[in-house]
Structure formats: C-alpha cells, structure tokens
Chain A
C-alpha cells in the first residue's frame, strides 16, 4: 500500500531525477551517478544496512552503458549481461556466496578460484554490481511480490484488504493441478510438495524468498488451504508442517528462493523509466535444479 509519506517521497524522487536527467544527455553516467540516480528515484530513505543494498564490486567511475537486473549475478548472468552491453548489474541476492557479500565473513579463502575468476571477469569487462534487495521489497506494492503474482497469473485473485502476506483465492483446484500450474508458470524443472495431491485448494498464502521460519510457520497456521514457500529451513518449517499433518490437512509447495526472480523484471521496468536513454533488461535465471530420480 502507498501511504501519503511514501507518495510524497516518490514525487520528490521524481523531481530530483528530472533534474538529474540532463546530466546524462549524450554522455554515459558513471556507476556512482547511476547509483545516486536510483537512490533518488526510489523515493525511499536509502539504508544499505539490512541487506547491503550498495555497490558491491566494481569501479564507481566506470561509464555505464546499460543495466541488467537479475536474481543473482552468476557468472552466466554476467556473461549474458556483457554480451548485451550491460555493465551495471543489479542482483537481488548476494554475489559472492555470503549473504551480505562480506568477504571477512566468508568461509572461502580469498584465493578461491571461483571468487578470483568472478572478480577478474568483472574487472576485465569494467562491470559493476549493485545489490538491491530490501529496497526492491520496499518499492510500492513490493516489486518482488508484484512480479511473482504477475508471473503466476494471480494478480486478479489477490484477496483485497488482507494484512500481512498476500493470499490469493482461486477457483477450486486440486493440490496436484495447482502444483503443476506453479511449476509451469515459474518455469521450474523441480517442485516439491507436501500433502494430499487430491485435496481441493481455494486459498493460498504466499511468501517470496526466505522470510524466516517464524513467518513461514505463521503462514502454515494462517488458515489458508495451501502455502507457497520459497526457501525453507527444512527441520523447522517443513517439520512444522509434518507435525501439523498429524492432526490437520496441510499442503505446502517448496518453490525455492529463485521465486523472487520475476520481481527483478518489475524492477527493470521501473529502472527503464528512470533511465529512458539507456538499455535496461531483466536477465532471468533458469531453475538451477533438476530431479535426477524423477520417473526412476
């Protein structure tokens, strides 16, 4: 929901952006200027601390030729970005295998060959990574949730006025068919499900990413027929569902953390408005998983 304060801040950001636009005319902005423009246009009080929404890697003085958004800046995504001429990459999640991209907290040594190769690729190709996690969620309506519901085709089924995590109310469907819909719409090669496949489902509680077990357990207890989850800590969350199944019906879909990816497409749309003269593209990540024993 957009409250008055958010709306005013957004307006102020737009004004600041309009003022900044001529600076970029005919000349490529630097990474520093791109980041400043994103902060200003966001209309949000930018706090990098919760999820490290900052320039993670790269030279801030590099001229930027285009922007790529993505779920995570894998080497494959970086290669695709380079091929498309996009050297400012905005991932939702961490890029260096530590949740805050904190090199001091990494279990890997600094000379790990994968880390070194990734850094080398970024430096060689004059690319910059700027993370956008918390500020993507706190876009009006939550860009990540908006993208997820849009991809699932459920925007029109969202229960209006329900506080907290969104519910959707669908025409009655079996749990298995609902799972097939989720799997197909999200382009997943795997989808794990807990519960009776024949159970009739109407209401679904939805969370994206990994909000933590307290939130996910509340979802399971929310009264919705089914629960759509991203990444879970299994003994805690799935275990809770297992316990609940001892006395009540429960249906859980484990969709994986990458269910946040479509939201970065929504972010790309917004950024295209912020940088109308610059190419902006969402680079989608294929489902990383296959089930090697499916059908065995």
Chain B
C-alpha cells in the first residue's frame, strides 16, 4: 500500500471533514503571514501529506500527537516510514513552508528526506462513527459519555456530566494526556455539569460561543487567544456566571486521539502500526 492509498483508506473510514474551508485563503508561506500566521480562518482544513513522497510504499505507521523530531527518529527505529501527526509539525498551524527554514526545522526536513519518511497531518474532525470516536477520545478517556449529537464536532464537543468539581476533572485529564502543566481560569471547586472540548484551537475568538452556551460550565482547550477567550471567561465569572476555562496544552491534548487513531488503524493494515507519545516535556515551576 502506498501513502496516498493509506490516506484514502483513512478518509473512507473516518468520513468527510465536519467543516469545510469557509474562511479567507491564508498566505501560502508562514513567513509571509501576518503575525507569523498565528491566526487562521475557522474551519480551515489541515489534513494531507505535508512532508515526504506520499507515493512511497508504506512499511509501517507511527501515530503521534505531533511528529516531533524525536518521534520521527523513534518511528524510524520502529521500522515505520509513514508518520501520522495530529498537530502541526513544521512550525506553522497549516504546515506551510518557509523560505529559509530555521536550523531545527532544516534538520527535521533533512531527517525526513534522508530517511525517506512520509508525514501525514490528520487532525480535522471527521463525521463517520469511527471519525467521531477518534475526535471524542479525550472525553471518553476521562469517563464522559458521548458528546451532544447536535453540535458540529469541528465547532467543539459538549458533554454533559454529573456534577463534578473541576479539580477532579483536571486530575483525570492530566492522567489521560500525561501532562500536569495545566492552567485554569476559575474556581477549582466549581461543580460542573457540562464540559465543552475545543477540537482545534488555533482560531481567533471562535471558542467564546462554545463557552457561552448555557449547558457549558467548563471549556477544555489546548490553548486560546488569551486576550479573547481568557478575557471572556474572566468577565463571565465576574458577572457571577458558573464558568471556567481549562487549558491543557495543544500537543498534549491530542495524545488520546492519536492513541485512538492508532488503535483503529491497526487491524486494517498488514504493516505494523504504533502509537508514539510526543511527550511534550513541560513542567510547572514551583
């Protein structure tokens, strides 16, 4: 099976993207984008091969939250030549090229070239039952039931829950994503009944509508635009609303989905499939 054929198999299995591109076209290169391209239109799609020759024969697959240089090396050691990255891995949210790659990026591109690796970005929320299962891996990992079916998963997930203090939820999330570098805006003791999960977070002010829903007390996101979403939740709390925001890290947040994707893919392929933790080594200074 070639790389492109594998991608087609995945798309058939996980279904169409939940959102199709509906924003303005982004500049074609990261270094020509305003403010480094950190703002991209909501709904912009990201899936596709972003490095390597996608027509190559697949000998093994590694799935990671982010295809870091260390992950690529580990994939090679495992005999995998196709790496699936949930998150951006080329220094840009859309994995756009840059005219003069910075040294660590140049080293990474050279490694991909030298080892004949293919890297497939696969993060768009998808709509088949299997696609929804992968998108909902984090809520499932912390014991929540299915997300509200009426919401487009690309806009986020909303999961009802029995009244639970945020600090308990935070501990479960920390265990599920193997990171304790969490940040909370709000009262850790607040008992929440509705939790929203951002399914892709590099978006301007697109998360506030999720947080403002009456059935949501807590928004869990990898990261936010602090002057927009953090500011909004501060004001909502000041007005007495039972709201909170938990930021868990955009790379770490993808670990459960990467693990679920590997588990779904494994029985379908004749080649080895492995989940490789990205292991973002963030610590809290104390």
Contact = CB atoms under 8 A, between A and B. Distances in A.
A99 B34 CA distance: 13
A239 B66 CA distance: 8
A291 B167 CA distance: 9
B91 A217 contact: yes
Contact of B35 (A194, A212, A242): A212
B158 to A, nearest CB: 16
A155 interface: no
Interface string B31-65: 10011111100100000000000000000000000
Interface in B10-39: 30-31, 34-39
Interface stretch (B126-134, B244-252, B268-276): B244-252
Interface in A104-122: 105-109, 112-114, 117-118
A49 interface: no
A99 B285 contact: no
Interface stretch (B1-9, B75-83, B234-242, B256-264): B234-242
B184 A290 contact: yes
Interface in A276-296: 288-296
A289 B284 CA distance: 12
Contact of B182 (A113, A238, A292): A292
27 contacts: A74-B234, A76-B234, A79-B238, A97-B232, A98-B204, A107-B42, A107-B205, A108-B205, A112-B208, A114-B241, A194-B280, A214-B30, A214-B31, A217-B91, A217-B102, A233-B250, A234-B223, A236-B38, A239-B89, A239-B251, A240-B102, A240-B105, A243-B70, A244-B104, A246-B69, A293-B171, A293-B174
Given A97-B229, A192-B282, A293-B174, A288 B234 contact: yes
Contact of B205 (A97, A183, A239): A97
B66 A242 contact: yes
Given A97-B229, A108-B205, A288-B230, A194 B281 contact: yes
Contacts of A293: 167, 170-171, 174, 180, 182
Contact of A233 (B93, B183, B208, B212): B93
Given A179-B285, A235-B250, A240-B104, A291 B66 contact: no
Interface string B169-196: 0110010000011111100100000000
B88 A291 contact: no
Interface residues of A, number: 75
A191 interface: yes
B156 to A, nearest CB: 12
A157 to B, nearest CB: 20
B37 to A, nearest CB: 7
A273 B31 CA distance: 40
B107 A247 contact: yes
Interface of A: 72, 74-76, 79, 93-95, 97-99, 105-109, 112-114, 117-118, 176, 179-180, 182-183, 190-195, 197, 210-218, 220-221, 231-240, 242-248, 253-254, 256-258, 288-296
Given A108-B212, A192-B282, A238 B231 contact: no
Contacts, number: 233
Most buried by B among A183, A218, A232, A244: A244
Nearest to A98: B205
A221 to B, nearest CB: 5
B205 to A, nearest CB: 5
B184 to A, nearest CB: 5
Contacts of A112: 208, 212
A106 B229 CA distance: 12
B140 interface: no
B205 A218 contact: no
Contact of A243 (B42, B104, B181, B281): B104
B184 A238 contact: no
A243 B188 contact: no
Nearest to B65: A235
Contact of B184 (A214, A217, A234, A289): A289
Contacts of A256: 226
B92 A236 contact: yes
Given A192-B284, A194-B282, A288-B234, A72 B184 contact: no
A197 B285 CA distance: 9
Contacts of A192: 181, 183, 282-285
A240 B229 CA distance: 24
A292 B69 contact: no
B171 to A, nearest CB: 6
A285 to B, nearest CB: 9
Given A112-B212, A239-B91, A290-B183, 9 more contacts: A93-B227, A190-B284, A210-B38, A211-B35, A233-B93, A234-B250, A239-B88, A242-B281, A288-B185
Nearest to B87: A235
B189 to A, nearest CB: 10
Given A99-B204, A291-B284, A240 B91 contact: yes
B222 interface: yes
A173 to B, nearest CB: 13
Q: Which 10 A-B pairs have the closest CB atoms?
A: A212-B36, A179-B285, A213-B36, A212-B35, A246-B69, A244-B104, A289-B183, A292-B170, A214-B36, A235-B88
